[in-house]
Structure formats: C-alpha cells, structure tokens
C-alpha cells in the first residue's frame, strides 16, 4: 500500500540511534494488534491476556512493552526508581490500551474509515513526518522498512495501525465538536488569570520555633517508644567482603594494536568505509498546495508558488545572499535555519527531479527552478565528492579504539575467569597474589553505599547481596570490568536502640512538635488579628514578622509564601480590609490582610481573548473526551464487551517487593 514511498529519499540521513525509541514511544498510543472487531466475545481472557475488548486480546506482553516505553520516556527523571514504579506504569499502560481498543471499536461501529490517501498524508505531514520525511523528502523504502523492523514492526502492521489512529481521531473530533465557550466564560477566566492583589502579611517560621525547643531525655524516650514501629528493622542489612577488581580501562590503555590486526579489521569491514558519490547541497523550497480530497491540485496556488520562487531566483542572480534568502523565504524549516544547507546527499536518496539537478549542476552555480512533488526548489551545489574507498590510514583512528575495546574485554574476561577458578580452589588472597591483582577489604556496607575502587555499581551490589553466607568466591560484571569477591560476614537488618539514634529521634521530635506549635500559633495569629481588626498589632504581640507584597497575579510568587496558587490563593477571593485564616506555606505560617484589588482592563481582554478561548475550548474538549471514554468503557464492561483478567492484572501491577522478582 505504501509503494509510493519507494521513489523518494531523505535530504539528510536520519540518525537511527535514539530514533527507534521515539518511534516506539509514539507506538504507545498508536499500535494495538488489529483484527476483526464487532463480534461477540468468545469467553474470558486466557493466560497471558490482560483483557478482551470487543473480541480483541490485549496481552500481558503488550502492556509490559508499553509500560517500558513509558519508563524509557521518563528514564532520566526516574533513574533507579524505574523498577519500583513499573507497577504504576503497568496499570497506566493497561488502562491506555484498553481505552484505545474500546475507542477503536466504537469508531468502527460508527462507520469511520481511514483511506490509503489519509494514511499517506499522516505519514508525510503528521507526527511521523520528521522521521520518515525529513526536510520533506522520504528516507527511502529500505531505510523505512529497516527502521520499522528495528521496532519489531512491518510496514503493513504499522500502516494499518496508523489508519486505526486516524479513525480514533475522527471519533475524537466528533465528540469534541460539541464543545463551546461563551463570552461570559472567557471573561470569568480572564478576570481570574489577570486580577492582581496587594496585601500585608505576617510570617511565623517553623525554624524559629524549632530553635526554642529543648526536649528532655524523658520526652525523647517517650517519643521513641510511641514511634517504635517506624524504627523496627530500620537499620538495613549490611555485608562485608574482600574483593579484587579487574579494570577493563587499565587493560585497554596498555593494549597495543598491530598493523596486521588493523588490516584484518579493515578488510572485514570494507563496506563501512565505502563513500558513495555525494554532493553538498543548499536549497530554497517554495511549497505547492497538496491535492484536495478530490485529488485535484489548486493550480492558482501552484502558479503563485512558482511566481514567488522565480522572484527569489531573480534576486539571487542579481547578487542577493543565498543564506539570507533561505532563512527568510525557504519553506523547508529543517534547512532554512541553516541558510538552506542540506549537507551531503547521495544518489537514490531524494526525489528524482531534485537528484538530477543536484548531480548535474556545476559547483557554486544556482540552477533553474526545479519542480518536485513538494514544490519549487532553487538549488546550489556547494561541493562534490566522487565515489571512493577510505584508505586504512584514514580510518585508523576509528578502528584502533574498537579493537582495543574488544581485546581488553576478552583479556579482562579471561583474567576474571582464571582468578575466580583459582580463588574457588585456593582462596581469593592466594589467587590474587598469583595473578597480580590487589585485594581490597570493605567495612560493612548496605546496598546504597559506594564500595572503594568500584564507584556506584548496582551489578556488584546485586551479586554481593544475593550471595549465601560461607559461599565460595563469586564473580560479577561491573561498569569498570569485573570483580571477584568473597563474602566475609552479614549483619542482618535490625532495630536501633534509643541510644543508637538519639540524634535522629531528637530531630524528629523537634520537627513534629514545631509543626504542631506553628499551626497553633498561626491560628492564634489569625484569630487575634480578626478580633482586633489589626494584623500588625497581632503580629507584634505574637512575634511574627510583618511584610508587604507588590501587586501580584494568581500565578505569581511572594517571598516567604511562595506560589500564590497554593493556600495563599484565598487572597483573590477576599475583599480589601479582610484578614485571612491561617495559611500553611512550607515551613512558614502566614496570615494575609488584603489591601487592594486591581482588576484588568478591557484592552487587556481584547489582546488575550483568543488565547483564553482556545485554552478553555481545549480543556472542554479533553473533558468531553474523557467522560465519553469513561462512559464507553463502563458500558462495554457491563455488557461483557470488555472482560479483564484480574489475576493477570494483579500479577502485573504487584509491587516488586511482593512479586518475588
């Protein structure tokens, strides 16, 4: 169905590293295996199936893959917490896939379809355009299929599911189409966002209260006893080892690569060093209109595009700067910001019309207009390179690190295997001396500690804490290479005595007591200020600090209060002269006395009306779609068109500590 892609190629080579993750992440909301929808369910979901939705299975593996993709998208923020959060993301993934399959079933029942042309337009101009059509040019059929294959997809499956996504989008447009926003709603939201307030406020600080607390030993012991459950087994299990480290980096730095090894690798990988005929090209693109639903092209629009392109070409031939004109007029956003530069391109990677001009024009010359399916191109060839093979000397600096890394890994693995074998027979100390590796001894450490000589090493910790007491030496891979360790002793998790953690108990006592006192004192401050109609007087009597704000918006920040979107937002509902109740602002207690309200002007409303309307409309559309999806799912579950395998769901969403994994 997508053979139209075969004749078009990329202007710039898409770097595949990292792109597959983006494609897979997009698939989270696009790909659900298709099949016959509309039939009655054939029974309860079986093993390995999370749910049946209108006859379609959603498997455990699909949910796991989707959850992993969600985690990968947020991996930088989640870090070591990823495994802990997997049950949460698994539940989200299951709900998302079930909801999507329900929406797809409803879209099909309502008669929505996706035509091949609509699928093509989505790939060429929608969310996937930057991956498959960078700079408006197709990456090529082979690269397209290869990219999908790396994501475990075929073009047929991928395009079918893009079509399903289009059908759901049509359903969403129908549901959201009933949303509307009135002028009164716009005005109300405008006033809410743009009304400013000015106030005096009194501040009590928890830290000041905490400094005045001096608990006795009896009070601390009583606190310890009342919180004993919190301290049970709060000292984690610790282990003590001796270990030898095989550092791959040290081996690699000492590694020598022979000329014969370089030549052998070069000969085995010659295809990597073939450089095809290439030209370095810059262009300016003026787009032509796409065909309409009837397949016809707006000829007037084409003529207008040609006129604009001819005018730019005339200016260039009159001496205008190509880079400046590209930045100003080119409608290819990817290259326009680079002054029109597309970098190096090879044959077979662009549309035929573009390729013919690019590979035939002299260097530095600006050619005549070239028309392609994307529009009119003004092309300049900046450099040309004939096809050739890079010499071994040219790629020596690329090959040497690869060979060193490969050889060092092999040597390190053998050294670690030999050391482990001898250590298990004669002991780690004897083996390490014989093999020339120093033995390090640790103090007791827990999983969160860093062991000298290794740095952060989850693999080492996993190996050590999985080892049985009095077991023979073991080997684990580390980020540095390998480590062979001998488990010496285990300290089981334990409950600390009062004396062990007296300092911690005192800190907790002061923190808890000061929070209580702060709340009480802030309430007293508010009550007294209201009774006396004077916040400043009450603040002086209770030792609070008085401050004054500038005019502030609802999303503003105020010193010692922080964001006005929290409890302090009460100020926007007050009248001048009113005094607020107690406001908790982190470690501070605050009471506000409102001075003045500043309403926005009609001119401000005119400037922001469209933006506010669009935001309110989008929120309403999302709310309608959410309600529709919830009701649809409820109805389908009640009618038996959605059946959830609760056993599989419980297993999938069980916390790691309970699952035994």
Average pLDDT over residues 52-62: 90
3-state secondary structure (DSSP) of residue 562: strand
- Residue 353 falls within a domain, yes or no? yes
Q: ∠ CA 38-41-43 to the nearest 5 degrees? A: 170
Last residue of a domain, one of 451, 472, 491: 491
Do 581 and 630 belong together in one domain? no
Do 377 and 422 belong together in one domain? no
Check whether 135 has a pLDDT greater than 50: yes
CA distance linking residue 212 with residue 50, whole number of Å: 57
- Residue 147 falls within a domain, yes or no? yes
Q: Name the residue with higher pLDDT: 592 or 87.
A: 592
Do 317 and 221 belong together in one domain? no
Give me the percent of the chain exceeding a pLDDT of 90: 56
Locate tokens 């060193």: which residue? Answer: 404
Do 467 and 579 belong together in one domain? no
Two structure tokens written together for 423:
């250590």
Last residue of a domain, one of 450, 466, 491: 491
Q: ∠ CA 224-226-228 to the nearest 5 degrees? A: 65
Q: How many CB atoms lie within 10 A of CB 70?
A: 21
Do 373 and 468 belong together in one domain? no
Check whether 22 has a pLDDT greater than 50: no
pLDDT at 81: 60
Check whether 108 has a pLDDT greater than 50: yes
* Average pLDDT over all residues of the chain: 86
CA dihedral 447, 448, 454, 457 (to 10 degrees): 70
Do 24 and 148 belong together in one domain? yes
What lies within 8 Å, CB to CB, of 193 at 6+ separation is: 553, 554, 555, 612
Do 81 and 172 belong together in one domain? yes
Alpha helices in 205-332 (DSSP H): 206-211, 217-226, 228-231, 248-254, 259-268, 299-317, 322-329
Do 248 and 227 belong together in one domain? no
Do 373 and 338 belong together in one domain? yes
Cα–Cα distances in Å, from 222 out to 132, 209, 217, 506, 595? 68, 21, 9, 11, 47
- Residue 354 falls within a domain, yes or no? yes
What lies within 8 Å, CB to CB, of 242 at 6+ separation is: 428, 429, 439, 440, 441, 442, 485, 486, 488
Q: Considering its fold, how many domains does the chain have in total?
A: 4
- Residue 262 falls within a domain, yes or no? no
Phi, psi of 189 (to 5 degrees): -70, -40
**Could you please report the per-residue DSSP string of 508-556?**
HHHHHHHHHHHHHHHHHHHHHHHHHT-HHHHHHHHTPEEEE---B-TT-
Check whether 6 has a pLDDT greater than 70: no
**Could you please report the per-residue DSSP string of 11-69?**
SSPPP-TTHHHHHHHHHTTT-------SSPP-SS--TTEEEEETTEEEEHHHHHHHHHH
- Residue 184 falls within a domain, yes or no? no
pLDDT at 292: 67
CA distance linking residue 402 with residue 525, whole number of Å: 71
Do 572 and 558 belong together in one domain? yes
The closest alpha carbon to 419, from 406, 478, 427, 470, belongs to 427
Domain range for 112 is: 3-178+620-659
The CATH number assigned to the domain holding 644 equals 1.10.4030
User: Which of 15-29, 121-135, 427-441, 514-528 shows the lowest mean pLDDT across its residues?
Assistant: 15-29
Task: Categorize the per-residue pLDDT at 176 as very low, low, confident or very high, splitting at 50, 70 and 90.
Answer: confident
pLDDT at 126: 83
CA distance linking residue 190 with residue 646, whole number of Å: 46
Tell me the per-residue pLDDT of 624-651, one tens digit each, with 9 for 90 and over. Answer: 999 999 999 999 999 999 999 998 888 8
What lies within 8 Å, CB to CB, of 431 at 6+ separation is: 419, 422, 423, 425, 473, 484
- Residue 69 falls within a domain, yes or no? yes
Last residue of a domain, one of 338, 362, 386: 386
Tell me the per-residue pLDDT of 540-585, one tens digit each, with 9 for 90 and over. Answer: 999 999 999 999 999 999 999 999 999 999 999 999 999 999 999 9
Give me the percent of the chain exceeding a pLDDT of 70: 90
Task: Categorize the per-residue pLDDT at 35 as very low, low, confident or very high, splitting at 50, 70 and 90.
Answer: very low
Please say whether the dihedral angle defined by the alpha carbons of residues 624, 626, 629 and 633, taken in this order, is positive or negative: negative
Strands 588-598 and 557-558: unpaired
- Residue 520 falls within a domain, yes or no? yes
Give the 3-state DSSP-derived string for 281-305, with helices as H, strands as E and coil as C.
EEEEEEECCCCCCCCCCCHHHHHHH
pLDDT at 651: 85
Q: How many CB atoms lie within 10 A of CB 370?
A: 21
Do 222 and 242 belong together in one domain? no
Do 469 and 330 belong together in one domain? no
pLDDT at 188: 92
Check whether 129 has a pLDDT greater than 90: no
Average pLDDT over residues 434-447: 93
CA distance linking residue 129 with residue 564, whole number of Å: 41
Average pLDDT over residues 39-63: 78
- Residue 264 falls within a domain, yes or no? no
3-state secondary structure (DSSP) of residue 440: strand
The CATH number assigned to the domain holding 372 equals 3.10.50.40
Task: Categorize the per-residue pLDDT at 308 as very low, low, confident or very high, splitting at 50, 70 and 90.
Answer: very high
């Amino acid at each position: 169905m997508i053979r139209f892609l075969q004749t078009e190629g990329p202007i710039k080579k898409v770097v595949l590293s990292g792109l597959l993750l983006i494609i897979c992440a997009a698939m989270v909301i696009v790909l659900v295996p298709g099949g016959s929808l509309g039939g009655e369910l054939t029974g309860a979901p079986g093993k390995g199936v999370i749910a049946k939705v209108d006859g379609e299975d959603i498997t455990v593996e699909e949910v796991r893959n989707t959850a992993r993709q969600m985690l990968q998208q947020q991996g930088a923020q989640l870090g070591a917490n990823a495994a802990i959060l997997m049950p949460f993301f698994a539940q989200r993934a299951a709900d998302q896939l079930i909801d999507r399959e329900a929406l797809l079933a409803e879209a099909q029942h309502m008669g929505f379809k996706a035509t091949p042309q609509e699928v093509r337009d989505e790939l060429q101009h929608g969310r996937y355009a930057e991956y498959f059509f960078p700079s408006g040019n197709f990456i090529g059929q082979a690269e397209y299929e290869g990219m999908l294959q790396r994501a475990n997809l075929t073009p047929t499956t991928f395009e079918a599911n893009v079509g399903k996504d289009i059908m759901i989008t049509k359903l969403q447009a129908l549901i959201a189409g009933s949303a509307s926003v009135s002028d009164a709603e716009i005005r109300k939201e405008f006033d809410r966002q743009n009304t400013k307030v000015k106030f005096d406020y009194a501040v009590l600080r928890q830290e000041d209260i905490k400094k005045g607390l001096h608990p006795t030993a009896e009070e601390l012991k009583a606190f310890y006893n009342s919180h004993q459950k919190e301290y049970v087994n709060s000292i984690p299990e610790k282990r003590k080892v001796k270990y030898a480290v095989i550092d791959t980096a040290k081996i690699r730095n000492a590694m020598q690569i022979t000329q014969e090894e370089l030549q052998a690798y070069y000969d085995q990988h010659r295809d990597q060093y073939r450089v095809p005929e290439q030209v370095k090209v810059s262009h300016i693109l003026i787009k032509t209109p796409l065909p309409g639903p009837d397949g016809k092209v707006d000829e007037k629009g084409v003529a207008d595009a040609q006129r604009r392109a001819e005018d730019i070409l005339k200016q260039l031939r009159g001496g205008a700067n190509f880079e400046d004109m590209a930045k100003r007029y080119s409608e290819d956003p990817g290259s326009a910001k680079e002054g029109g530069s597309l970098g190096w391109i090879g044959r077979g990677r662009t549309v035929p019309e573009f390729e013919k001009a690019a590979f035939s024009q002299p260097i530095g010359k600006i050619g005549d207009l070239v028309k392609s399916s994307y529009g009119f191109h003004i092309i300049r060839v900046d450099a040309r390179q004939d096809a050739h093979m890079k010499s071994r000397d040219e790629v020596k600096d690329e090959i040497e690190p690869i060979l060193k890394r490969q050889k060092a890994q092999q040597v390190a693995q053998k050294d670690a295997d030999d050391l482990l074998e001898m250590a298990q027979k004669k002991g780690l100390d004897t083996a390490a001396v014989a093999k020339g590796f120093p033995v390090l001894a640790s103090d007791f450490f827990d999983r969160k500690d860093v062991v000298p000589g290794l740095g952060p090493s989850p693999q080492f910790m996993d190996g050590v804490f999985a080892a049985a007491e009095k077991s023979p030496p073991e080997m684990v891979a580390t980020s540095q290479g390998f480590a062979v360790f001998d488990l010496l002793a285990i300290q089981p998790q334990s409950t600390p005595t009062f004396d062990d953690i007296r300092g911690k108990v005192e800190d907790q006592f002061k923190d808890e007591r000061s929070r209580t006192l702060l709340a009480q004192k802030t309430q007293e401050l508010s009550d007294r200020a209201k009774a006396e109609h004077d916040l400043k007087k009450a603040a002086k009597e209770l030792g609070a600090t008085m401050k004054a704000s500038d005019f502030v918006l609802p999303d503003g920040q105020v010193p010692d209060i922080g964001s006005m979107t929290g409890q302090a937002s009460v100020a926007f509902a007050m009248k001048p002269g009113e005094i607020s109740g107690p406001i908790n602002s982190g470690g501070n207690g605050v009471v506000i006395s409102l001075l003045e309200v500043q309403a926005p002007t009609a001119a401000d409303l005119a400037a922001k009306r469209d933006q506010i309307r669009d935001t309110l409309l989008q929120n309403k559309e999302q709310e309608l779609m959410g309600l529709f999806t919830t009701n649809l799912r409820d109805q389908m579950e009640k009618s038996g068109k959605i059946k959830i395998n609760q056993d599989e769901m419980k297993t999938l969403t069980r916390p790691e500590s309970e699952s035994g994994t």
